Each structure stands twice: as C-alpha cells, then as structure tokens.
Amino acid sequence: MVIQRLKSLKELLQLKEELLGEYDSAKTRIRICTTGCRAKGALKVRDAFHQELGKDRSIEIVETGCQGLCAKAPVVSVDPDGIFYGGLTPEDVPEVISQTIRNKKIINKLCYSENKTVYPYIKDIPFFKAQEKIVLRNCGYINPTSLEDYIRRNGYVALIKIFRGLKPEDVIEQVTKSGIRGRGGAGFPTGLKWKFARQYQNATKYIICNADEGDPGAFMDRAVLEGDPHSVIEGLIIGAYAIGANHGYIYVRAEYPIAVEYSTLAIKQARERGFLGENILGSGFNFDITIKQGAGAFVCGEETALIASIEGRRGMPRPRPPFPAEAGLWGKPTVINNVETLANIPWIITQGGDAYAKFGTKGSKGTKVFALAGKVRNTGLVEVPIGMTLRQIIFDIGGGIPQDREFKAVQMGGPSGGCLPAEHLDTPIDYETIKEAGAIMGSGGMIVMDEVTCMVELARYFLDFCQKESCGKCVPCRIGTKRMLEIVTRFTSGQARQGDPLFPQ
Amino acid sequence: MSEVDIRKIDQIIKRFPPHESNLLIPILQSVQEEFGYIPPESVKLISRHSKVSRNKIYGVLTFYAQFATTPRGKYVVRPCRGTACHVRGSASVIRYLKSKLKVEDGYTTTDNKFTLETVACLGACFLAPTMMVNHDYYGNLNDKKVEEILKTYR
C-alpha cells in the first residue's frame, strides 16, 4: 500500500472519516498486551491465539501496549463485551476461543477476583473503576504500531484546531489555563515554561521529550511510549509550534528496547503521513524529530545533563541559571518536557484547558499516572485525578498488601524522594502535600513496603544507588554519598560505633 | 582476545557524517551493537572521524554504564536492582546469578557465554524482581526460575 502524505487539514479529516467508516465496533476483538506482559510470555499467548483462530477473519487480534493491571500478566481483553482475563498461558487459549469467544461463556479461573468476588468485566473491576484516563486514553486499546488506530481515536486532531486558528500564544494560554505541571518530577508549570521559551524571538529553538525514566519504580513513560507513541509526537508538534521550534528530540533510555522501537516507527509513520517534516498539513509549519538513545546514566534525567548527553558529552549537570529555556541545547532556547506531560497536551488542546483543570486540586490540576509496585497486590499503572488519598490508590485500586500484611510505608519520588508512613495514608496527595509530608511527587513511582521491609536497609539501598549513580562532578555528592553509605552500612551490618551519626548516646 | 576487523569498524563509523561531535554517543552505540563492546582499536578511528580527542572519547565511554571496554558474553544477563525489585528480593536473585555463573558483577564467564551486568532499573517494576537476557524480559523471579531461564541459554 502506498501511503499518501496528507497535504491539508481536509485530507486528515477525510482519512479519519474513512478509517471510522471501515471500522466495525461490533466485531469481536481480542486485545492482548505484547509490551510489558512479554516478561510473562505474552508473545507465546498471542501466537497461540493466531494458531487457534487460523484463517478465521471474523475475529481480530489487536496487539496493544500496557492495559494497566500488570500484576495479572499476561493480560487479554475481549471486545465488545469488555471481558478481562489475566495470567493466561498458551494452554488456556483453546478454551478462551471455544468458551468465551464462540459461546459467550465466562471462564472464572482467568478472571480478576478480589475478596472472593469474581469480576469478569472491566467496568466492574475496582482497579479500573476509580481511574480517569487522559494520558493513558489509548494505552491498551490501540495497536501502538498503527497510526490508523491513533487517528481513529482522535489522534492528530489537535493539529486541526491549532492550524485552523490558534496562534502559538493561544496554545500557551490553553496549556496555562489547564494548570498542568511538569510530570517529570519538579512540577514546574508547563505553560510558563513554554512562555519563557517563546519570548526569545528569531532564534533556533529546540524541544526535547525527556524519556530517560531513571527513577527506579517508575514505568509510566515506558508504558506511554510503548502503548501510544503518537500521542507524545503530537504533544511535541504542539509544543514546538507554541515555542517556535523546528526540531525536536526524544531522549529515551536504551534499557527500553520496545519503547525505542515503537517511537522510532511512529516518527517514521508520522513523517510519511505528513505530520512531521516540511509544511505540516499545508500549514507552513516545519518540524521534525530525532531519537537519541540514552546510554545508561541515571543523572541524564536531569535536564542540563540530558542536554550534555545529546551534545555527545559526559552527562554532567551544570548550575542554572541560565535555564534551558534561555540557553539549552547548543546554547539555544530549549524546552524539555516529560513524556507524560506531552501525552496530556493533545487532550488539553482538543478539550480545552478548562476541561483539564476540572480534575485535581487547587494547586495541582489534572490527572497523574502512578506506577504501583512493591508489596501491593495490583502492581501496574493507574491514572487518577490528583488529590486522591494514598489509601484509595494503594488499597481501593491497588487491592492492598499481599498476604494481608501490615502497610509500613510507600516510597515516592525515586532516590531523591522519600518514604511516607501509614500516618499519611489519608492525606489527599498533590505536589504540595507530598512535599510537606517529606517526599516528592517525582515521576509517580509508588513502591509499597510492608512490615517485613527494613527501613534502615532501604536507606542503605538508596545511598548505594546514589553513590553508584553520582556523576562525580561535585564533591558533596561524590564523596558525601560514599561516606554516608559507609556509615549506614555499618548500621546494617551491626558494626556501628560510638560517634556515628544517630548512634544512641 | 580475538582479532577485530578494522574495516568493519571503519564501515560503521563512515555511516555517520564526519566532524560532528554530537554523534559520538550514537557512533559508540553502533560499534558496541556490532562487537558487543568498544574495541580499543576503534577509539582512534572514531577520534579521527568525529574530531573529538581520544581523551574525551574515553571520558564519554567510561561515563556511561552501557559501554564496555572488554568483550562481553554472547548473552548479557541484566538483573534489576531497582527499588521495587529490591523490596521483593532482587538481592537474592543477584546473589544466585553470581553463584550460578561464577562471576562478579560486570564480568564475563570464562566460556564467553554470559556477562552479568546489574542495572539500575529496567522499568518492569510491576513484575519484580526482574531481569533481561539480551532483549528478553523475565519477571517474578526466584532461584528456581532463574535456573530454568539460564538453562534455555546454555
């Protein structure tokens, strides 16, 4: 099939109509996660489905990104009924086809169950019910390698709105109105960041997507790039238009091979269709994206270190100011946005900043994706309006602690974050309340710890991590983390001595 | 150590436009993709092509965890030591791998089959503890599962 480059907004709308026209939503579709679930044999399950169905074209197998409930990997959803199965093996597949697909019978043993209640349907499962999906709106529903799937679900439609009459300033106004703050961790208002970069006129500018998700325990950026890469590309195009950049980068960790593969493919597709390149959709706007692979350095998630890495140097941060918005990549004004932030942008533009600001708390608008991991039953990805309590996330959505053990703490914000003990379970969480409680929102990793986790040992673990990942530029970090690690290691190995900090007097 | 094909290195480097210092990391990644490590012979060639001093190239390649300066095994085993894996027992998985493969972290078995390379986080925290063998992910590990996985690569 020859892929036609779209030359105008009209052609995009036509294509969307055509794609919707030929789409039969009543058709039986088996959606199977073939990204994160690969670690539990999803590819073998997919092959089993193909083999079992043979030449039967009445049923479609859709390979998707993350569906959220990763604890049940490999997972499968059956549309249009909305049935959810987990923990499948290739041996289960013939039964799924003969019972569920052909005879509409539920197989209880594959269903999600909680407190002895079996939940066959997605709409009833407590894990999914309390969620509000904006960032993950397509994740797990579409085939991430299909541009057509993305367009069918309103993909690239924000560009129509922009090119038909939103000036860059109007775009920035909508983003400012939405109240969205950087999802990478620091929580700087995205609209303000764009405004700063916008004010430097007539210069070459850059926009960078930070996909160097280094915080251990965070995997939402990986899931977005693996499950819905075009949403990030669309976000980048909008950001570039707003600040006046003609070139962008996606800086993605090499440890995420599927994310690298899918985002590379998505860029190629976007170029073929005319969403990237010269004169995008006849608008006169030019923009293209290059992928840069990280090379395994935690510190490169920091924006100035990331810039150094793209420039081909050791990834060592430098003091700010000047901020990248003024002098970033090659000394030019540069905006760096996190994957999750960018995936929100197309939604904000199509629905309006006000619609986004309806979610969240006073100072922290919108939704946030959290990565639930550690000692929690439903490990996976959850997207909720900001302002939910930790109890709601960990117990209502997360299903609580395995073996009904006692909750001890939840670690948030990666190595520079902190641990929140049980007394904070009922705090509605937003950027400010988490900070007051002693942790940070960070990128949204939540690692739950139960009564058997030793907090002193965890402190030693984090110091070990920070010491290993220190870039070595500044003395307090290079030598300080080493000395702290030595002290805490003495405690964990029973060798602590008089004079050590915290040693009982 | 086996002989390295200089022409092959040259071919890889020539795929990149010359005198672009920003392409240093992608060049190093391509060389490593081909050879599994950065052969010392390649540094001079890369330096000449990209106009970056050898000194600086060594600075970069020793900075990033991805680059190795000695040959690696056929299979690179990457157990995750991220926080979620840590609280679910990655320390014991790593200990087991070390004892089974009889190597320390960062080293390669004498038969050049396996390299053990602990990583900061694989982003597969939902299935902790996890590891990768080359490009394949494995989750919910314990000693028994690790042994079974290693068997399939032996």
Q: Which domains does chain B have, with CATH numbers?
A: 3-63 (1.10.10), 75-153 (3.40.30.10)
Question: Is B22 an interface residue toward A (CB < 8 Å)?
Answer: yes
Task: Report the pLDDT value the prediction gives residue A75, as an integer from 0 to 100.
Answer: 97
Peptide bond into B18 cis (omega under 30): no
CA distance A259 to chain B (A): 11
A201 with A316, same domain: the answer is: yes
DSSP labels, B52-75: --HHHHHHHHHHSTT--SS---SE
Instruction: Report how far residue B107's alpha carbon sits from residue B101's, in angstroms, rounded to the nearest whole number.
Output: 10
Separation in Å, CA B47 to CA B25, B30, B42, B52 = 12, 15, 8, 5
Question: Is B133 an interface residue toward A (CB < 8 Å)?
Answer: no
Cα four-point dihedral sign A244, A249, A251, A257? positive
Instruction: Report how far residue B147's alpha carbon sits from residue A247's, in angstroms, rounded to the nearest whole number.
Output: 47
Q: Do the Cβ atoms of B120 and A314 come within 8 Å?
A: no
Question: Is A40 an interface residue toward B (CB < 8 Å)?
Answer: yes
| Nearest-by-CA chain A residue for B138 | A39
For residue A101, being part of any structural domain is answered with: yes
Q: Which amino acid is it at A59?
A: I
B residues 26-85 near A, CB within 8 Å?
A: 26, 28-29, 52, 56, 59-60, 63-67, 80-85
Among A322, A357, A392, the domain-final residue is A357
Q: Give the 3-state secondary structure of residue A57.
A: coil
Q: Do the Cβ atoms of B88 and A375 come within 8 Å?
A: yes
Q: Which residues on adjacent β-strands are paired with residue A290?
A: A249
**A296 vs B66, B84, B139: nearest CB:** B66
Q: Which residues of B touch A369 (CB under 8 A)?
A: none
Instruction: Report how far residue A476's alpha carbon sits from residue A354's, in angstroms, rounded to the nearest whole number.
Output: 44
Instruction: Report how far residue B40's alpha carbon sits from residue B58's, in angstroms, rounded to the nearest whole number.
Output: 10
Separation in Å, CA A484 to CA A331, A410, A416, A470, A500 = 36, 23, 15, 13, 10
Q: How many domains does chain A have?
A: 3
Task: Report the pLDDT value the prediction gives residue B5, as an integer from 0 to 100.
Answer: 87
Q: Which residues of A touch B140 (CB under 8 A)?
A: 40
Instruction: Report how far residue B53's alpha carbon sits from residue A480's, in angstroms, rounded to the nearest whole number.
Output: 31
Q: Which residues of B touch A402 (CB under 8 A)?
A: none
Instruction: Report how far residue A240's alpha carbon sits from residue A255's, in angstroms, rounded to the nearest whole number.
Output: 27
Quick: pLDDT tens for B16-46. 999 999 999 999 999 999 998 999 999 999 9
A328 with A411, same domain: the answer is: no
Q: Write down the residue that tokens 């490593």 correspond to.
A: B32
DSSP labels, A320-346: -SSPTTTS-GGGS-EEEEEHHHHHHHH
Instruction: Report how far residue A319's alpha carbon sits from residue A475's, in angstroms, rounded to the nearest whole number.
Output: 14
Is there a contact between A262 and A138 (Cβ–Cβ < 8 Å)?
A: no
The per-residue pLDDT string of chain A (505 residues; one tens digit each, 9 = 90 and over) reads 678 899 999 999 999 999 999 999 999 999 999 999 999 999 999 999 999 999 998 999 999 999 999 999 999 999 999 999 999 999 999 999 999 999 999 999 999 999 899 999 999 999 999 999 999 999 999 999 999 999 999 999 999 999 999 999 999 999 999 999 999 988 999 999 999 999 998 679 999 999 999 899 999 999 999 999 999 999 999 999 999 999 999 999 998 999 999 999 999 999 999 999 999 999 999 999 999 999 989 999 999 999 999 999 999 999 999 999 999 999 999 999 999 999 999 999 999 999 999 999 999 999 999 999 999 999 999 999 999 999 999 999 999 999 999 999 999 999 889 999 999 999 999 999 999 999 999 999 999 999 999 999 999 999 999 999 999 999 999 999 999 999 999 999 999 998 888 888 7
Question: Is A328 an interface residue toward B (CB < 8 Å)?
Answer: no
Quick: pLDDT tens for B64-105. 999 999 999 999 999 999 999 999 999 999 999 999 999 999
Q: Which residues of A touch B127 (CB under 8 A)?
A: 36, 39-40, 70, 73, 379
Number of neighbours of residue A493 by Cβ within 10 angstroms:
9
Q: Which residues of A touch B21 (CB under 8 A)?
A: 311-312
Instruction: Report how far residue B124's alpha carbon sits from residue A216's, in angstroms, rounded to the nearest whole number.
Output: 10
Task: Report the pLDDT value the prediction gives residue A416, as an integer from 0 to 100.
Answer: 85
Question: Is A340 an interface residue toward B (CB < 8 Å)?
Answer: no
Is there a contact between A241 and A162 (Cβ–Cβ < 8 Å)?
A: yes
A396 with A332, same domain: the answer is: no
CA-nearest of A6, A27, A313 to A157 is: A6
A222 with A339, same domain: the answer is: yes
A222 with A157, same domain: the answer is: yes
**B64 vs A256, A295, A381: nearest CB:** A295
| Nearest-by-CA chain B residue for A293 | B26
Per DSSP (E only), the strands in chain B are 75-79, 114-116, 131-133, 136-138
Among A453, A475, A495, the domain-final residue is A453
A402 with A292, same domain: the answer is: no
Q: Which amino acid is it at A5?
A: R
A151 with A270, same domain: the answer is: yes
CA distance A88 to chain B (A): 15
For residue A104, being part of any structural domain is answered with: yes
Question: Is A124 an interface residue toward B (CB < 8 Å)?
Answer: no
Is there a contact between A351 and A137 (Cβ–Cβ < 8 Å)?
A: no
Q: Give the 3-state secondary structure of residue A181.
A: strand
A174 with A195, same domain: the answer is: yes
Q: Rounded to 5 degrees, what are φ and ψ at A408?
A: -105, -55
* DSSP letter, residue B119: B
Residue A220, domain extent: 147-357
Q: Give the 3-state secondary structure of residue A101.
A: helix
A320 with A200, same domain: the answer is: yes
Question: Is B86 an interface residue toward A (CB < 8 Å)?
Answer: yes
CA-nearest of A451, A366, A309, A407 to A136 is: A366
Interface test with A, best of B87, B105, B133 (most A CBs within 10 A): B87
CA distance B52 to chain A (A): 10
CA-nearest of B87, B108, B149 to A405 is: B87
Q: Residue B1: pLDDT band by 50, 70, 90 thresholds?
A: very low
Question: Is A471 an interface residue toward B (CB < 8 Å)?
Answer: yes
Is there a contact between A296 and A257 (Cβ–Cβ < 8 Å)?
A: no
Q: Do the Cβ atoms of A312 and B88 come within 8 Å?
A: no
A332 with A375, same domain: the answer is: no
Instruction: Report how far residue B97's alpha carbon sits from residue B134's, in angstroms, rounded to the nearest whole number.
Output: 15
| Nearest-by-CA chain B residue for A221 | B123
Interface test with B, best of A66, A379, A381, A469 (most B CBs within 10 A): A379
Task: Report the pLDDT value the prediction gives residue B2, as an integer from 0 to 100.
Answer: 55
| Nearest-by-CA chain A residue for B139 | A39
Quick: pLDDT tens for A191-248. 999 999 999 986 799 999 999 998 999 999 999 999 999 999 999 999 999 999 999 9
Quick: pLDDT tens for A244-274. 999 999 999 998 999 999 999 999 999 999 9
Q: Provide the CATH number for the domain around residue A43.
A: 3.40.30.10
Question: Is A417 an interface residue toward B (CB < 8 Å)?
Answer: no
Q: Which residues of A touch B81 (CB under 8 A)?
A: 216, 465
Per DSSP (E only), the strands in B11-67 are none
Instruction: Report how far residue A241's alpha carbon sits from residue A161's, in angstroms, rounded to the nearest whole number.
Output: 12
A residues 101-120 near B, CB within 8 Å?
A: none
Question: Is B109 an interface residue toward A (CB < 8 Å)?
Answer: no
Structure ipTM: 0.93
Q: Which residues of B touch A445 (CB under 8 A)?
A: 83-84, 125
A265 with A345, same domain: the answer is: yes
CB–CB contacts below 8 A, A to B: 144
For residue A486, being part of any structural domain is answered with: no
A191 with A103, same domain: the answer is: no
Separation in Å, CA A86 to CA A70, A119, A271, A375 = 9, 11, 37, 19
How many Cα neighbours within 13 Å face the side chain of A441?
22
Is there a contact between A412 and A442 (Cβ–Cβ < 8 Å)?
A: yes
**A216 vs B67, B84, B127: nearest CB:** B84
Per DSSP (E only), the strands in B34-151 are 75-79, 114-116, 131-133, 136-138
For residue A498, being part of any structural domain is answered with: no
Task: Report the pLDDT value the prediction gives residue A356, as an integer from 0 to 100.
Answer: 98
Task: Report the pLDDT value the prediction gives residue A296, as an integer from 0 to 100.
Answer: 87
Interface test with A, best of B90, B125, B141, B149 (most A CBs within 10 A): B125
Among A325, A357, A389, the domain-final residue is A357
Q: Do the Cβ atoms of B22 and A312 come within 8 Å?
A: yes
For residue A15, being part of any structural domain is answered with: no
Q: Provide the CATH number for the domain around residue A439.
A: 3.10.20.600
pTM: 0.95
Q: Which amino acid is it at A475?
A: V
Q: Provide the CATH number for the domain around residue A352.
A: 3.40.50.11540
Q: Which residues of A touch B64 (CB under 8 A)?
A: 295-297, 315
Instruction: Report how far residue A495's alpha carbon sits from residue A4's, in angstroms, rounded to the nearest whole number.
Output: 70
Separation in Å, CA A60 to CA A33, A42, A50, A77, A185 = 14, 16, 9, 12, 39
CA distance B85 to chain A (A): 7
CA distance A310 to chain B (A): 7
| Residue A412, both tokens | 């948030």
For residue A473, being part of any structural domain is answered with: no
